[in-house]
Amino acid sequence: MSRSPLITAKNLSVHYPLRGSLIGPAPFVRAVNDVSLEIAPGSFFGLVGESGSGKTTLGRAMLRAAPISKGDVHFDDGEVAYSLKNLGKKELKDYRKRAQLIFQDPYAALSPRMTVRDIVAEPLEVMGLTRSRADTDERVREIAAKCRLNVEHLRRFPHAFSGGQRQRISIARALVSGPKFIVADESVAALDVSIQADVLNLLKAIQHDMGLTFLFISHDLSVVAHVCDHVAVMYLGRLVETAPTRTLFSGPRHPYTKALLSAIPSLDPDDRGKAQKLEGEIPSPTNPPPGCKFQTRCPHAMDRCRVEEPVLESAGVEHNVACHRWKELIF
Amino acid sequence: MSRLIDVENLTLQFDTDEGRITAVDNVSFSLEAGEVMGLVGESGSGKSVTAKSLMKLNPRNAVYGPDTRITLHLDEGPVDVMSLQTDREMKIVRGGSISLIFQEPMASFAPAISIGDQMVEQLLIHTNYSKPQAKEVSIEMLDRVGISDPRTRFGQYAFELSGGMRQRAMIAMALSTKPKLLIADEPTTALDVTIQAQVIDLMKDLVSEFGMGIIFITHDLGVIAQTADKVAVMYLGRLVEQGTVRDVIRRPAHPYTRGLLAALPTLDDIGAPLTPIPGDIPSPLERPSGCVYHTRCQEVIGPRCAAQVPAFLKVDADHAAACHIYDPAGDSE
């Protein structure tokens, strides 16, 4: 891990304008607000948070698929280095080859009118990465085999496949251009548990074999605990805690992380109702509360939390937390 | 406790362009008043179709098996659900004594009618309340499920509420007619974990308050462990295991249940590799012969598994499973 980070977000903000009133400044949503984050090459980096926390937007910004309003994202894979905010047309095309996305819903992400072969081959053709059809076919077969799809599968249309198989097709399509960085946005959320484990194992194997770096966006902390080496927790557009997986799960320092962990339903029937429950819901990002964004639901909030927003500070090795009270709170 | 519903030999097939598909195959179970039964299974296992059958809420191409018997035990006497024909007769199982909560509350509220009007409408259909009374009852229910400022919410539309609020409103609506049986079809699946925990707590409170029976359909065994008294596990339309929640989760008897539990990521063994169940769920058009699970089963004991449907056998006092490993003598038959 001595190499420089593959992805570095520096004070990254993504703001979306809202249709505003005629008078006064146009209002906007701060979907991602002043996020700084490093992802080391070869990492399986987890990003968790409730819906509306901005995790998808952050992932998209790292792919240059969401507008970067403030700050920047740097990409450096040892071959090229890009500043995503100021990417020329040609560079952006090259970046698309190096950074790819796997979607959540394998039923919506694949065109029903294309064969699996054409779906997987499309990125190669669009990006002009292969010289001939034979070349393309060979590359498609090679990637398909890695995703456990055989030649027979390639001839069929997506409707003939189950959810797990479809997700393997989506993965093959994301991998075919030979990317270094993959954003997997809730990529197993739509799958059944028995299939989910299979797809997760496949992602891990591919990451290992091909030396990839993953940003794994998920709302499911138990999945994240099993596959990720680092985790960042988001709340209302901000990072509230980042740490290596084991550190985060064994000793969360932010009250929100703690609440997320204890909300996971326990498999022990005799362990009912012991969990500390979070009140209320995530506020609207169009109208965030002052001070700490979590203060409206935090059981430990005090006066300072309502006026002053905490910044990420070091709470240990690679462990950062944004809470005024993390030193006194022991969970 | 008194018996609330008996389901015997429920078989349901659908006529489709590609042939007749078996969705539910000879499923039997019963539920007592005040009891929560978790119905577990993956997509395509037939759990939703089973639950909807109790309200005869299946499309026109549904064909019930001739031996299917569903009996709802009410104070007024037993109701034979299969014999209900007209919409008028079926009111009793559709919102009267049985209520249903869907997975996606955004899709189950009409978008152009206010939440309140929808609540009042069903109360007018199923109860003798006057319109003003129905409004008061609805507002009371909204308040009861933890919706702040219920009078304002009453006049709002589904899109104005957050996901958690919509699901609470859905629960309020389902419970305002005081049903004897509540069917909750993946009620927390679309919600964030923190909101899911709130909704589960709410449902538990309501069960003890109203004393109704609940059939809780989910694919999440953690949710089952936190809510259910007993569990029924389904695979490809068949019931493969049934028992108390402790028995099924701690000592799963069927290889499928064991596989499901092994595939589940838990926080107790972070970093341990996950064990998927090999293969995919077969298409209902290609139902395996014999035991429907034998194509993916890792405990197949012989050719019998592919040839013979396993009987539902007791493995403990309140615990049964449909697997040949519990019937060593079965070969001779």
Residues of B in contact with A266 (CB under 8 A): 222, 225-226
CA nearest neighbour of B231 among B29, B35, B38: B38
Does one domain contain both B196 and B280?
A: no
Q: B315 lies in which domain range?
A: 248-326
Does one domain contain both B227 and B253?
A: no
User: Chain B contact for A261, CB < 8 A?
Assistant: yes
Does one domain contain both B212 and B74?
A: yes
Length of chain A: 331
Residues of A in contact with B193 (CB under 8 A): 50, 219-221, 260, 263-264
Our CA angle for A220, A225, A227, nearest 5°, is 100
Model confidence at B328: pLDDT above 80: no
Model confidence at B216: pLDDT above 60: yes
Interatomic CA distance for residues B171 and B143, integer angstroms: 12
DSSP A290: S
Helix, strand, coil fractions of chain A, as percent rounded to 5: 35, 20, 45
B193 and A275 in contact by Cβ < 8 A?
no
Please tell me the distance in Å from A278's CA to the nearest CA on chain B. Answer: 6
Q: Could you tell me the CATH number of the domain that includes residue B88?
A: 3.40.50.300
Decide if B285 is inside a domain: yes
Does one domain contain both B174 and B316?
A: no
Point out the residue among B249, B260, B272 whose CB comes nearest to the CB of A194: B260
Q: Are B138 and B176 in contact (CB under 8 A)?
A: yes
pLDDT given for residue A54 in this prediction: 92
Decide if B331 is inside a domain: no
Q: What digits encode the pLDDT tens for the residues A54-81?
A: 999 999 999 999 999 999 999 999 999 9
Q: Where does a domain end: B243, B274, B306?
A: B243
Residues of B in contact with A164 (CB under 8 A): 280
Task: At B138, list the tokens.
Answer: 């609805």
Does one domain contain both B115 and B41?
A: yes
B193 and A226 in contact by Cβ < 8 A?
no
Interatomic CA distance for residues B56 and B52, integer angstroms: 6
Model confidence at B113: pLDDT above 90: yes
A221 and B164 in contact by Cβ < 8 A?
no
- Is residue B16 within a helix (H) or strand (E), and if so which, with residue range? strand B3-16
Model confidence at B107: pLDDT above 90: no
CA nearest neighbour of B153 among B166, B164, B163: B166
Category of A305 on φ-ψ map: left (φ > 0), alpha (ψ -120 to 50) or beta: alpha
Task: At B216, list the tokens.
Answer: 């809780």
Structural domain count of chain B: 2
pLDDT given for residue B332 in this prediction: 45
Encoded amino acid at A331, one letter: F
Point out the residue among A193, A220, A266 whose CB comes nearest to the CB of B219: A193
Q: Where does a domain end: B243, B277, B292?
A: B243
User: Chain B contact for A273, CB < 8 A?
Assistant: yes
The order of strands in the sheet holding A28-39 is A28-39, A7-17, A70-76, A81-83
Instruction: Go through B134-167 and write b for each residue having 16 or more CB atoms within 10 A of its CB, e for each that does not.
Output: bbebbbebbbbbbbeebeebbeebbeebebbbbb
**Which residues between 165 and 194 in chain A have a beta carbon less than 8 angstroms from any beta carbon of chain B?**
165, 192-194
Does one domain contain both B23 and B73?
A: yes
**In the structure, what pLDDT confidence band is assigned to residue B31 with cuts at 50, 70 and 90?**
very high
CA B18, B19, B20, B24: dihedral to nearest 10 degrees?
-30
Minimal-distance CA residue of chain A relative to B220: A193
**Which residues between 210 and 239 in chain A have a beta carbon less than 8 angstroms from any beta carbon of chain B?**
219-223, 225-226
CA nearest neighbour of A162 among B273, B39, B285, B238: B285
Q: What digits encode the pLDDT tens for the residues B130-178?
A: 999 999 999 999 998 888 889 999 999 998 888 888 888 998 999 888 8
**Averaged pLDDT, B184-188:** 88
Q: Are B270 and B252 in contact (CB under 8 A)?
A: no
Does one domain contain both B8 and B61?
A: yes
pLDDT given for residue A27 in this prediction: 77
Please tell me the distance in Å from B212's CA to the nearest CA on chain A. Answer: 20
DSSP B92: I
C-alpha separations of B144 from A266, B7, B154, B173 in Å: 26, 32, 13, 11
Decide if B332 is inside a domain: no
Which residues on adjacent β-strands are paired with residue A48? A218, A233
Does one domain contain both B201 and B216?
A: yes
Does one domain contain both B70 and B185?
A: yes
Q: Where does a domain end: B185, B209, B243?
A: B243
Q: Are B38 and B230 in contact (CB under 8 A)?
A: yes
Our CA angle for A299, A305, A306, nearest 5°, is 100
Residue with tokens 């270094």: A180
Task: At A176, list the tokens.
Answer: 């075919």
Residue with tokens 């609470």: B168
Residues of B in contact with A235 (CB under 8 A): none
Start-to-end CA distance of chain A, whole Å, equals 30
Please tell me the distance in Å from B229's CA to the nearest CA on chain A. Answer: 9
**Averaged pLDDT, B67-80:** 93
Interatomic CA distance for residues A106 and A163, integer angstroms: 6
Residues of A in contact with B195 (CB under 8 A): 50, 281
Interatomic CA distance for residues B307 and B313, integer angstroms: 18
Point out the residue among A195, A270, A271 whose CB comes nearest to the CB of B276: A195
Residues of B in contact with A275 (CB under 8 A): 197
Minimal-distance CA residue of chain A relative to B271: A226
Interatomic CA distance for residues A181 and A43, integer angstroms: 10
How many residue pairs from chains A and B have C-beta atoms closer than 8 A?
Answer: 133
pLDDT given for residue A1 in this prediction: 46
**Averaged pLDDT, B197-210:** 84
User: Chain B contact for A269, CB < 8 A?
Assistant: yes
DSSP A291: S
DSSP B101: E
Helix (H, G, I), strand (E, B) or coil at A159: helix
Does one domain contain both B209 and B138?
A: yes
Q: Are A202 and A187 in contact (CB under 8 A)?
A: no
Interatomic CA distance for residues B149 and A171, integer angstroms: 46
Residues of B in contact with A200 (CB under 8 A): 265, 274
pLDDT given for residue B333 in this prediction: 44
Model confidence at B246: pLDDT above 90: yes
Q: What is the mean pLDDT of chain B?
A: 90
Interatomic CA distance for residues B319 and B171, integer angstroms: 31
Which residues on adjacent β-strands are paired with residue A29? A16
Q: Which of B147, B249, B274 to mutate to test the interface with A (most CBs of A within 10 A)?
A: B274
B197 and A265 in contact by Cβ < 8 A?
yes
Q: What digits encode the pLDDT tens for the residues A273-328?
A: 666 678 888 888 888 899 999 999 999 999 999 999 999 999 999 999 999 999 98
Q: Which of A159, A191, A193, A297 to mutate to test the interface with B (most CBs of B within 10 A)?
A: A193
The reply to whether the predicted model has a pTM over 0.90 is no
Strand ranges (DSSP E) for chain A? Answer: 7-17, 28-39, 44-48, 70-76, 81-83, 99-102, 181-185, 213-218, 230-235, 238-244, 313-316, 319-321
* Residues of chain A scoring pLDDT < 50: 1
Decide if B333 is inside a domain: no
Point out the residue among A200, A222, A263 whose CB comes nearest to the CB of B194: A263
Does one domain contain both B57 and B107?
A: yes
Residues of B in contact with A271 (CB under 8 A): 225
pLDDT given for residue A274 in this prediction: 61
pLDDT given for residue A275 in this prediction: 62
Q: What digits encode the pLDDT tens for the residues B34-59?
A: 899 999 988 888 999 999 999 998 88
Point out the residue among B193, B270, B275 whose CB comes nearest to the CB of A197: B275
Does one domain contain both B230 and B280?
A: no
Minimal-distance CA residue of chain B relative to A221: B267
pLDDT given for residue A273 in this prediction: 65
